[in-house]
Amino acid sequence: MEEKETTLTAEVTGSSVLELEELIGEQHIGTSADTPLRGDAFEMPDNEKIRIIAGHFREIMNTLGLDLADDSLKGTPGRVARMYVNEIFAGLNPLNKPKVSLFENKYRYKQMLVEKNITLYSNCEHHFVPIIGKAHIAYISSGKVIGLSKLNRIVRYYSERPQVQERLTMQIANELRSVLETDSVAVVIDAVHLCVASRGIKDVNSSTVTAEYSGEFLDAERKQEFLSYVD
């Protein structure tokens, strides 16, 4: 990491702060498996966050020269603010974490359970534009099973925050290992990033695939079996 940081510094010598931030975004630098949050992230109530974000977004629109007196635009700052707090970034708030109940594996089912093609909507933390794709997940029970819809809810919870796809993949896998009390978990995400498709290089044909395997899924045959189901 030290070498990468040194190289980055050399590349941006003499550049502006905005150019530096853009270069960091283009190089897809991440931080850790945890979403970077301040310690006081949830001290402010949601209604106050909405009020402040609406004010800032109103200024962005004003700066762009948009007429906020227009009937179509005047409600946009509030709509964007509510969307940020209550919808597309709701996964930042731990109060929104799905409640998970486990059940005894009475069937003694010992093979993998695969939930594939889970619709995924997230947002790139470098440009705040959508990431759209599918998640495929699997686990092998250690004695407990989970309701199928809870698997989708876990994917949704970690998707609803500013993300990089590598971190999202790891967060889903870590959560599944924790709640299912099993090491045998597989997660594959195949997604289109609109920061690539709608800006910059504007490549609408490429997608990004990330994967996390642990436990029995580190075995080549188990991994291949899983991939054959989601291919």
β-bridge mates for residue 119, sequence order? 134
Contacts of residue 150, Cβ cutoff 8 Å, sequence gap at least 6: 98, 100, 101
* Inter-CA distances, 50 with 36, 141, 156, Å: 20, 42, 21
Residue 158 CB-density burial (10 A; 0-12 exposed, 13-18 middle, 19+ buried): buried
Catalytic-role residue among 115, 124, 175, 216: 124
Indicate if 193 belongs to the active site. yes
Residue labelled with tokens 């283009």: 26
Query: Which entry of 126, 160, 163, 212 is annotated as an active-site residue?
Result: 126
- Token pair 């059940």 is at which residue? 103
Candidate list 125, 160, 175, 216, residue with the active-site label: 125
136 is catalytic: no
Coil, strand or helix at 213: strand
Q: Which residue among the candidates 171, 195, 212, 216 is catalytic per the annotation?
A: 195
Out of 115, 136, 163, 193, the active site residue is: 193
Q: Is 111 a catalytic residue?
A: no
Among this protein's residues, is 3 annotated catalytic?
no
Cα angle value 200/195/4 (rounded, 5°) = 80
Rounded Cα distance, 25 and 177, in Å: 30
Both structure tokens of 96? 């929104």
- For the question of residue 124 being annotated catalytic, the response is yes
Give the whole-angstrom CA distance, residue 101 versus residue 124: 31
- Contact (CB, 8 A) for 87 and 160: yes
- Put the strands of the sheet holding 162-163 in their side by side order: 162-163, 112-124, 130-140, 185-193, 208-213
* Active site (annotated) includes residue 126: yes
Candidates 165, 171, 175, 212; catalytic one: 165
Active-site residues, by number, are: 124-127, 165, 193, 195
